[in-house]
Amino acid sequence: MKRFISLILLSSLSIAQVTAQQTIQRPKLVVGVILDQMRWDYLYRYYDRYDARGGFKRLLNQGFSCENTFIPYSPTVTACGHSSPYAGSVPAIHGIVGNNWWDKEKQKNVYCTEDDAVATVGSSTSSGKQSPRNLLVTTICDELRLATNFRSKVIGIAIKDRGGILPAGHSANAAYWYDSKSGNWITSTYYMNDLPGWAKNYNEQKWPDKYYQQGWKLMYPSNTYVQSTEDSKGYENKPFGTGFPYDLTKFVSKDFGKIASTPMGGTMTTEFSKAAITGEQLGSDNITDFITISFSSPDYIGHAFGPNSIEAEDGFLRMDKDLGSLLDFLDTKVGKNQYTLFLSADHGVAHIPEFLTEHKIPAGRLMADNEIKKLNAKLAEIYKVQNLIINFENYQLYFNDKAIDSANINRMEFVNRIMSHLYSLPEIDRVINLEKLMTTTLPEPIRKSIINGYHPKRSGDIQIILRPGYIDGYSNTGTTHGLWNPYDSHIPLIWYGWGIKQGKTNRETYMTDVAATIAALLKIQMPSGSVGTVITEVMK
């Protein structure tokens, strides 16, 4: 009898051991970090100035860096750049073809996350009328929710609504963004009917005003910023004044939006993310959770001052501190090597054209809106119909199809007139009839980029490509992004933590590989529109 009982106990123990061995190993938390407007070269441009306990050196030296990561589509803008890594897909499939696009059925301009069916939660403004409904596919966050029968928690956070909403996907527990009208972090009734207590408590602290009281001073003596142009150039925007130090007290309780254009916007995002992890108890059990964090402030700073500015350099030195603070918090709260983190960017940025020409490098601005107005006026003279070009978004012209059909305009002749006019503009390198994209003579990488960005129901009719170094210059100051060129499309991609090797690869990888790689790490399904491949080198 004793021998029989012993055999049963041994058998039970063996079954328990097999079961334990067969348990799927996953991190407690996945942290997706997107820096809005970070060129890849920033990792090394400021490397010597990054703190050893900050974020960038820790990630580069202890994690795995994909040094040659590109965005495989255009336009390289925020909404696409937050959808594509998490969906593992391209605008041609996930449908987010820009921050805005012309809806041919509704005959109106559409914002990527607009949703009139929902209401703001967290303030009395209309800033919360947003949701992920325009996204046509799942994200890796949705797939994690599905894989765990919705036991995993998913939270999205960013100053920009699109940066918080699109990565987290359709089934997220919440997405939060910053309301520049009220100074509160808010959400929408798509997710909930009332802010959780931890979010209310954060808003009650009135952090924007506290940051305004501090002002924006350089971290180090100005003469140490040798990687930057001298302060206050004429081609920079001046949202705060003429140069450092910036007194921000005039914005206290008056203009809550200016905080986004300072490094304190990154600090605020970091602290709100910590509050969310604590308040929602993310990573506190054996069911993997996911938080997506987008740092919007580098984009606002970069647009205003340009990538060679002292503001950009100081902003990334401060961003490094914020990332270090976030890593320290995760090590303590979730546990060192208990979370997997990746860091990337939604796009890069072009140098300010006037900075380049100052140094004899070809560059310039196309005042596209003005040129479209001139072209429309010219077409109206010929065809006696107004506004035949109904919209210009994402470097694409949208035709007024109803007006063209009603006036019996010969479409081929119409298209040829437009292309001929656009080709006459010295800032434009190529003009492409998107109906004939496959037969147009183009270098294959550019053709692929345009194809991957083209959705037939949301994209335009004519695509323009500017000369390298040229931008769509909505004013005579600042800069922008959106094209296929490496300064807009070459981005960082670093992996860190649970399941990640230490090292790097110079093999060409893509933003769209992120979701597939996370799916492989977590052993879950890829998103519904995924076209990326697993970056096997990063995994232990």
Q: What are 344's two structure tokens?
A: 């990337």
Bridge partners, residue 44, by sequence: none
Q: What are 237's two structure tokens?
A: 């925007």
The catalytic residues are 78
Q: Could you give the angle at which helices 197-204 and 264-279 cross, rounded to 10 degrees?
A: 150
- C-alpha triplet 128, 511, 473: angle, nearest 5°: 65
Give CA–CA dist 518/539, Å, rounded: 10
Quick one: which H or E segment has residue 391?
strand 389-393
183: left (phi over 0), alpha (psi -120 to 50) or beta: left
DSSP state of 230: P
User: 389 to each of 379, 417, 451, 502, how far by Cα in Å?
Assistant: 9, 12, 22, 52
Give CA–CA dist 126/264, Å, rounded: 24
Q: For 468-537, what is the HEC assignment?
A: CCEEECCCCCCCCCCCCCHHHHEECEEEEECCECCEEEEEEEECCHHHHHHHHHHCCCCCCCCCCCCCHH
Beta-strand relationship, 428-433 and 396-399: unpaired
Start-to-end C-alpha separation, the chain: 47
Longest dimension (CA), the chain: 104
CB 512 within 8 A of CB 84: yes
| Alpha-carbon torsion (425, 428, 429, 434), positive or negative | negative
Label residue 211 exposed, middle or buried (CB < 10 Å: 0-12, 13-18, 19+): buried
